[in-house]
Amino acid sequence: MNSVQKGKFITVEGQDGAGKTTNIEFICDQLKQRGIDVLLTREPGGTKLGEELRDLMLNGHDLRINDMAELLMMFAARAQHISEVIKPAISAGTWVLCDRFTDATFAYQSGGRGLPPHSVETLQRLVQGELQPDLTLLLDVDLSTGQARSRQRNSGQDRFESEQTAFKQRVRDAYLELARRHPNRICVIDASLKLSEVQKQILQVLNRFVESAL
Ligand code: TYD
C-alpha cells in the first residue's frame, strides 16, 4: 500500500504592522508555483468556532476577557483548528501555511500580557501533543516602523493593536527570544527593509526548505 507523503506545516509570525498579510500571500504563491498543494489558514480562526472566538477576542464587543480566559480561548480555537483542519490536511499530503500559531501565544499572552510561559507550555502539550511547525518565518520590524505601517492601513484597531507601546515591545522581545531558543525552526526576516528586499530573504529561506522537503 502506498502511504501518502505528509504535508509540511509552515507558520508566519510577527508583530502587528510587520507585513504578514502581504508576505503570506507571496509565500502561498511561491509554494503553488512549485506545484505544492497549499492550504492557507489563520489563527485565531480557520474554523467556524475559531472565527467566532477570534471575533470575540479581537473586537471585544464590550466583553471583559481576563488574561487567563484569553489564553484559554486562543487554545480552544487552536484545538478545533488542529483537529478539523491542520492534521487532516497534513495527513492528506497538503502543506499548511498558517498566519500565526503558538509562538504568537508565547509572544502576546506571555510576553505581552505577562502570563507565565509554563502556562502556555502546559496548554501547548495538552492541545498539540507532538505537532509543531516544520518552519516558522518571523517577520521582525522595529516598533516605530511597525506602528507607522499599522496606522497606514487605516482600518480600526483591534484589542491587541490598541495596546500600549510597552506591550508591543514585550511582544517583539518575546518573539526574538523564541527565535534564539529555536534557531532550527524559526527564521528571522528583517521586515523593516523595502518589500523587494524582504521577499528576497523570504525566498532564500523557502528555497532551502522546499529543496530539503521534496
Ligand atoms: P492578525 O494576525 O494581526 O490579523 P490582521 O492582520 O487581520 O490584523 O490579528 C490577530 C491578533 O491576534 C494579533 O494581534 C495577535 C493576536 N494573537 C494572540 O494574541 N495570541 C495568539 O495565540 C494568536 C494566534 C494571535
Q: Is the CB of 16 under 6 A from ligand 1?
A: yes
Q: DSSP H helical segments within the chain, as ranges? A: 20-33, 48-59, 67-81, 87-91, 102-105, 117-128, 143-153, 165-181, 195-213
Instruction: Pick from 100, 115, 150, 153 the residue to mutate for probing ligand 1's pocket: most ligand atoms within 8 Å of its CB.
Output: 100
Nearest 5°: the CA angle 18, 155, 197 is 25
When pLDDT is cut at 50, 70 and 90, the band that residue 2 belongs to is low
Region 63-68: mean pLDDT is: 95
| Residue 124 in this model has a pLDDT that exceeds 80 | yes
| Residue 196 in this model has a pLDDT that exceeds 80 | yes
Region 35-45: mean pLDDT is: 98
Residue of 108, 91, 86 lying closest to 174 (CA atoms):
108
105: CA distance to ligand 1 center in Å? Answer: 9
When pLDDT is cut at 50, 70 and 90, the band that residue 155 belongs to is low
| Residue 1 in this model has a pLDDT that exceeds 60 | no
Are 157 and 29 in contact, with CB atoms under 8 Å apart? Answer: no
Residue-level pLDDT at 13: 98
| Lowest-confidence pick of 52-66, 104-118, 120-134, 200-214 | 52-66
Instruction: Pick from 72, 86, 154, 160 the residue to mutate for probing ligand 1's pocket: most ligand atoms within 8 Å of its CB.
Output: 160
| Ligand 1 nearest atom to the CA of residue 161, by list position | 14
Q: Is the CB of 13 under 6 A from ligand 1?
A: no
When pLDDT is cut at 50, 70 and 90, the band that residue 116 belongs to is very high
Q: Is the CB of 43 under 6 A from ligand 1?
A: yes
When pLDDT is cut at 50, 70 and 90, the band that residue 111 belongs to is very high
Instruction: Pick from 13, 16, 71 the residue to mutate for probing ligand 1's pocket: most ligand atoms within 8 Å of its CB.
Output: 16
Region 130-151: mean pLDDT is: 93
Q: Is the CB of 75 under 6 A from ligand 1?
A: no
d(CA 74, CA 46): 12
What CATH number does the domain located at 9-213 have? 3.40.50.300
| Residue 154 in this model has a pLDDT that exceeds 70 | no
| Lowest-confidence pick of 85-94, 127-136, 148-157 | 148-157
When pLDDT is cut at 50, 70 and 90, the band that residue 15 belongs to is very high
Q: Is the CB of 21 under 6 A from ligand 1?
A: yes
> Is the overall model pTM greater than 0.85, yes or no?
yes
